[in-house]
Amino acid sequence: MNTDQSTIALNRFSRTLTQEVSNPAAQAMLYGVGLTEEDMQKPQIGIASTGYEGNTCNMHLNGLSVYVKQGIQSSGLIGLIFNTIGVSDGMTNGNDGMRYSLPSRDLIADSIESVVAAQWYDGVVTVVGCDKNMPGAIMAMARLDRPGIMVYGGTIRSGHYKGQKLDIVSAFEALGRKYANNISDEDFKGVVQNAIPGAGACGGMYTANTMASSIEAMGLSLPFSSTYPATHEGKQEECKKIGAAMRLLLERNITPKEIITRKSLENALTIVMALGGSTNAVLHYLAIARAAGIRLTIDEIQEISDRTPLLADLKPSGKYYMEDMLAIGGVPAVTKYLYQNGFIHGDCLTVTGKTVAENLEEAADLNFETQKIVFPLDKPIKPTGHIQILRGNLAPTGSVAKITGKEGLKFEGVAKVCEHESEIIEALSKGEILPGQVIVIRNAGPKGGPGMSEMLKPTSAIMGAGLGDKVALITDGRFSGGTHGFVVGHVTPEAFEGGPIALVQNGDRITIDATTRELTLHISDEELAYRKSEWQQPAPLFTKGVLGKYIRSVKSASEGCVTDEE
């Protein structure tokens, strides 16, 4: 706690507006929005929602924010809802839209920071639901360092078609099957029309559920926030409990920087590894750590991966969906199991005002007789984490691979270079993607893309075409949490900056080796130097607007793609 409880004014920020005689305009506006004289004494909590109607990840968040507000008001606080942007990756339609996705994380962080600081709110609740919204919200909360809680909008329920459970990735994979002529037009339509049954974030252990689970483990959302599906009654109940939790945080002056510590970041990343989470978590935790003033490196993430077994059989590489976790005790039960076996730091503070260990006293025990989603530690799916940091002459400053072991630990093949994500879709439809190729998709990095697009469409299409275990893919872009297969992303330095990935030519031999953690381009140093001497940096695709600013400010993927550092 930051100060002695007896000295804390719960409205220590908002009182500047509500109590000082020199702020009549602000007070007039607050009376104008309906506050009473009594309300003017109360702490003010900004409720930041990324809700909007256009996609299922975010469509229900404004509604949840109303429940949050009710809980806040009934705890003697003032809740004031505001909105910020959110981009749904599932609706970005390839690079042109997708290049705005990762930048949106930092825009969300900037927006929440701006409103909460400018309007003198005493605390903030973020109600968020899609991949970038959560890290954006946490980055803002860390920068502001005022009492704060994140509410996850919740996972989606599964869709169904002809007895098959479906989710967003099913739609992309159906496209791959369409290219391979092994799905009828009727069934393709059936999958697309039934994959998404309503509100909620994509249902596997993709990026949204990865971030929600790990942020809960880090202590910044209430227990079970990541497990309740969006449409489950528990989600509304969670929202209503936020008021009491926020009051406690204000009274004890518990702020995000006390919760985001090296130990709690380790807890978060341990959950990412154990649950088989998204490679995007690497980017986002590098950035969250920096926002909290902690220098986390990709090599430290590798160390956590080395000591954490992959336990959960969740999609994309496994069988189950996040909604299935509810019946077995959810993320708290998994965290408890890991804590009892020494993988989780129990002494970290959380938004309940209790430690991780104290929260877990109420969690269920995993029953290994009856449930098959989480494997026991003595029989893990993989003895170490699936996220691997690879270096080598093709990625001197690092890259991130997702290796579950199902596709093997080593891949050697011949380069098939695509200068743009769209080329692979075209190549697939012409039958030019062949077994034994290492597909290199470049100019997709944070500056070159710009915006470091996800390769969801290419990887899903490769899977759908039945080539998932026959080709590998490397890119300076990134992967959706829905990606599986032999894939290496975040290759740094990126092509736009003259990284070796810019110098690969069709037919070069490439080895991806997860056992030695090397990404190797089999050409001589002299040849590599010659190609570099011939290379010319392309002109940036954008010089103005969001993407122009992003190109000028974004750091490398190995530094979390942060935009607010020199």
> Would you call 49 helix, strand, or coil by DSSP?
strand
Using CB under 6 A as the binding rule, whether residue 135 contacts ligand FES is answered as no
- The answer to whether the annotation marks 89 as part of a ligand binding site is yes
Using CB under 6 A as the binding rule, whether residue 130 contacts ligand FES is answered as yes
**DSSP code, position 391:** B
| Contacts of ligand FES in 49-78 (CB under 6 A) | 57
Closest CA to 274 of 316, 337, 319, 219: 337
User: Which amino acid does the sequence have at 267?
Assistant: N
Q: Segment contacting ligand FES (CB under 6 A): 12-20, 59-67, 85-93, 483-491?
A: 85-93
Q: Quick one: tokens of 215?
A: 């942020």
Residue 326 Rama label (left phi>0; alpha psi -120 to 50; beta): alpha
387-390/399-402 β-pairing: antiparallel
Instruction: Indicate the residue among 280 and 492 with the shorter CB distance to ligand FES.
Output: 280
- Shortest CB 424 distance to ligand FES, Å: 21
- What are 521's strand-pairing partners? 510
Which stretch of DSSP H or E encloses residue 350? Answer: none
Do 109 and 137 meet the contact criterion of CB atoms below 8 Å apart? yes
Q: Which of 89, 106, 421, 559 binds ligand FES (CB under 6 A)?
A: 89
Q: How many residues bind ligand FES (CB under 6 A)?
A: 11
- The answer to whether the annotation marks 454 as part of a ligand binding site is yes
Using CB under 6 A as the binding rule, whether residue 167 contacts ligand FES is answered as no
Q: Segment contacting ligand FES (CB under 6 A): 199-207, 410-418, 484-492, 520-528?
A: 199-207
- What are 166's strand-pairing partners? 159
- Shortest CB 290 distance to ligand FES, Å: 24
Instruction: Indicate the residue among 152 and 486 with the shorter CB distance to ligand FES.
Output: 152
- The answer to whether the annotation marks 324 as part of a ligand binding site is no
Using CB under 6 A as the binding rule, whether residue 171 contacts ligand FES is answered as no
- Give dist(CA 152, CA 321) in Å, integer: 17
- Name the catalytic one among 111, 480, 556, 558: 480
Q: Which residue has the tokens 């360092």?
A: 145
- The answer to whether the annotation marks 186 as part of a ligand binding site is no
> Would you call 151 helix, strand, or coil by DSSP?
strand
Instruction: Indicate the residue among 95 and 384 with the shorter CB distance to ligand FES.
Output: 95
123-128/78-83 β-pairing: unpaired
Closest CA to 125 of 231, 256, 223: 256
Q: Which of 71, 90, 229, 493 binds ligand FES (CB under 6 A)?
A: 90
| Catalytic status, residue 453 | no
Q: Which of 17, 150, 202, 328 binds ligand FES (CB under 6 A)?
A: 202
- The answer to whether the annotation marks 132 as part of a ligand binding site is yes
Using CB under 6 A as the binding rule, whether residue 325 contacts ligand FES is answered as no
Instruction: Indicate the residue among 85 and 528 with the shorter CB distance to ligand FES.
Output: 85
- Give dist(CA 224, CA 155) in Å, integer: 12
Measured over all CA atoms, what is the biggest interatomic distance in the chain, rounded to whole angstroms?
76
Q: Which of 75, 88, 261, 278 binds ligand FES (CB under 6 A)?
A: 88
Closest CA to 449 of 88, 55, 93, 95: 95
Using CB under 6 A as the binding rule, whether residue 438 contacts ligand FES is answered as no
| Residues forming the site for ligand FES (CB under 6 A) | 57, 88-90, 130-131, 168, 201-202, 206, 208
Catalytic residues: 480
